[in-house]
Amino acid sequence: MLGAGGLGLATTAWPFLVGLLAGWAVTRGWRHPLAPLRTGAGVWVATVAVGMLLRAASGQGIAIAFVIVAAVTLLVLLVGWRVVAWGIRALRARSAR
């Protein structure tokens, strides 16, 4: 079913997907999905922490370079879009006045 590339992607992604779900549960992200700090930062921290712990527990590598790249990438993907959405909402609210 999965080719070699797909299996590698799934192997790398599953710890972070579990961390993402944990982050949503802990922050109750569904209540304020667009909040950069309340939801985004909490989900990001949980995703990185749980993801790295699960990678280590499953025998996958957690080299410092990988941790840095994963943390920065997840920061942009999990918090960055929320900051952009917050800015757009603020601009729209200002121009509506």
Each residue's pLDDT tens digit, 21-78: 999 999 998 999 888 888 999 999 999 999 999 999 999 989 999 999 999 999 999 9
**For the chain, what are the domain ranges?**
4-96
Token pair for 9: 């992607």
**Residues 6+ positions from 20 with CB-CB distance below 8 Å:** 43, 46, 47, 78
Phi and psi of 29, rounded to 5°? -60, -25
- The whole-model pTM stands at 0.84
